[in-house]
Structure 1
Amino acid sequence: MNPIQNKYDFVVLFDVENGNPNGDPDAGNMPRVDPETGLGIVTDVCLKRKIRNYVETVKEEAEGYKIYIKDTVPLNTSDKLAYAHIESDTERAKEAKKNKAVLDLMVRDFMCKNFFDIRTFGAVMTTFVKDSLNCGQVRGPVQLGFARSLDPIVPQEITITRIAITTEKDAANKTTEMGKKHIVPYGLYRAEGFVSANLARKVTGFSEADLNLLWEAIINMFEHDHSAARGKMAVRELIVFKHESEIGNAPSYKLFDLIDVKLKDENKPPRAFTDYSVNIREENLPQGVQIQRMI
């Protein structure tokens, strides 16, 4: 498959209702908050995890769509696949053993070709553990920033009770136990991302098919991730800017500034996506850039 030929920038709006979108382990798993502004935060790592999980769900380890960073699978287990593939080709193995640069390139190309998340986000595959395999480092064409809420959030700690008693000894003395649950009553978050056609062509081979799968995964990244902890979460908008060129026709920040998301009534706290208005000033769109609302 041929790499993409156009640069893209995109904005994602997603919301949470009565859930914890991204707990902070340094704060007892309370929702992440910027202490100076009170705005909620969801890390790029969290969002990439949702995208990986969706691709793994719909592709089910299909050829070219394995996931490198996943639960219960050590990185070196996946690294071994590249070396085993090269060893299976006698002629290529002989060539690789003569020249380390050739070996490194073969390994990198194999990992990019077979693992969607490496082809998309890149990966550090150098583990620096004795006798471990080294697949190098790959800089991916798709990058996401932290998501921030449009307005300050008010994290709440809810006390709950449960009838499932842990031990038989405790069951003899009580019928319920107490617990805690951290939620955000409502928050609308905005994340911004970038897709580099230049890196796709030079490094990973990220293709149009991969791009379409990425948009699909972003739109549906919370649909197969529902849990009691995260409550109701959904992607509300995916706004994509497509440049005519590989390098880009306008700075990303100028495109992001064209999107205004504001509360309709600033005198009451938001409790639904309909409490906001989303306005795109398309009349100020730079020449050579197209815009598309994917939802």
Structure 2
Amino acid sequence: MSIQNRYEFVYFFDVTNGNPNGDPDAGNMPRLDPESSKGLVTDVCLKRKIRNFVDMTSSGQAGYEIFVRENSVLNLQIERAYTESEEVIENLKAWKEYEKNKKKKNKNNSEEGISKPKRHYEDIAQDWMCENFFDVRTFGAVMSTGKEKEETDSDGEKSKIAKRAGQVRGPVQLAFAQSIDPIVPLELSITRVAVTSEAEKEEGKDTMMGRKYIVPYALYRVHGFISANLAAKTGFSEEDLQKLWQALQLMFEHDRSAARGEMAARKLIVFKHDSALGSVPAHKLFDSVKVERINGESGTPATGFADYQISIEKDKFNGITVEELL
């Protein structure tokens, strides 16, 4: 059963001596807003970490496969609906039969034997994708990318079929994360005491030089939205919701790398509405979460999470339950 309540959430995470989200168009420098110099982390970056966590913790569990995963071919994932779902297979046969009967009608001016299936096979394939892939029913997906391929049926007739599953708008959406204060990325030179190739060794090189960007410290804030109405269309359930909360709390613990330094989830504040529609605009809920600088002089860079204080006006709105999961 899909979730019955609308949610919004505010999520805080920080980085120490690392690069939380490099920009490939800027030499992998940490992303930042050029007007405010505040750091940015894209929604795509955060969704990748959620996908990786779910894939790691629920591998092999029915309904928790990941559609957008490393080194996968998306069209092949979509085509699985046409080979593994009996309902899709039968409906596709029915549509092919319907198309053949339409051609006969055009030739003979007869409507005999024409029966149009109630649903299109792409819609049924979309349901199968939502049922089997966590990230499809959570974040949505574009699955209309398959190209037409010629196939031959049991009667020897050829037809062109595009194995697609349409587009799904997911109930869970994330905004860009933005740092509370401006960041000052540092560019560091690094040295490796080994060369890459024999040619470099023959040239007399003993070491290789490189460059690395880090953010000394930054606290990031991101807003999230969960629609019960869209969840009803994809089948996003209470179990999926708990998996999402778990991922947000623990995903950085399993995403360590030299480039990312120390990253940690610091605060997860969830606003639960008492209905699917909700009664309070999201921006008013977000405005009730305040971040204040409590240590260090104003205008100087923060050095740790202890330099901030996060407060919530919990009793400000009717019909809203506020929960701090971190």
Superposed pair shares fold, TM > 0.5: yes
Q: CA deviation at 1:128?
A: 5.6
Q: CA deviation at 1:266?
A: 3.6
CA distance in 1, matches of 2:147, 2:263: 39
Does the CA-based 8 Å contact 1:86-1:93 persist in structure 2? Answer: no
Q: CA deviation at 1:53?
A: 0.3
1:115 aligned residue: 133
3-state SS in 1 of match to 2:239: helix
2:142 corresponds to which of 108, 124, 141: 124
Look up the equivalent residue of 2:206 and give its one-letter code: T
1:154 corresponds to which of 184, 203, 206: 184
* Between 11-20 and 268-277, the greater mean CA deviation after superposition: 268-277
3-state SS in 2 of match to 1:282: coil
CA distance in 1, matches of 2:242, 2:134: 12
TM-score (normalizing by structure 2): 0.86
Does the CA-based 8 Å contact 2:123-2:166 persist in structure 1? Answer: no
From the CA coordinates, give the structure whose radius of gyration is larger: 2
CA distance in 1, matches of 2:139, 2:302: 33
1:271 paired to 2:289: no
Look up the equivalent residue of 2:309 and give its one-letter code: S
Between the two proteins, what is the percent identity of the paired residues?
53
1:106 aligned residue: 124
Inter-CA distance 113–160: structure 2 relative to 1 (3 Å threshold): same
Q: CA deviation at 1:220?
A: 1.1
Q: RMSD over aligned Cα, in angstroms?
A: 1.6
Deviations 1:91-125 (A, max 9, x none): 55544544384312211110000000001000001
CA distance in 2, matches of 1:101, 1:91: 11
Q: CA deviation at 1:134?
A: 1.2
For structure 2, the 5+ residue unaligned runs are: 99-116, 150-161
Does the CA-based 8 Å contact 1:158-1:180 persist in structure 2? Answer: yes
For structure 1, the 5+ residue unaligned runs are: none
2:228 corresponds to which of 190, 193, 197: 197
CA distance in 2, matches of 1:138, 1:176: 50
Look up the equivalent residue of 2:24 and give its one-letter code: P
TM-score (normalizing by structure 1): 0.94
Please give the residue correspondences for 1:4-83 in structure 2 after superposition, counting only pairs within 5 Å: 4-83=3-82
Does the CA-based 8 Å contact 1:258-1:280 persist in structure 2? Answer: yes
3-state SS in 2 of match to 1:134: coil
Does the CA-based 8 Å contact 1:55-1:65 persist in structure 2? Answer: yes
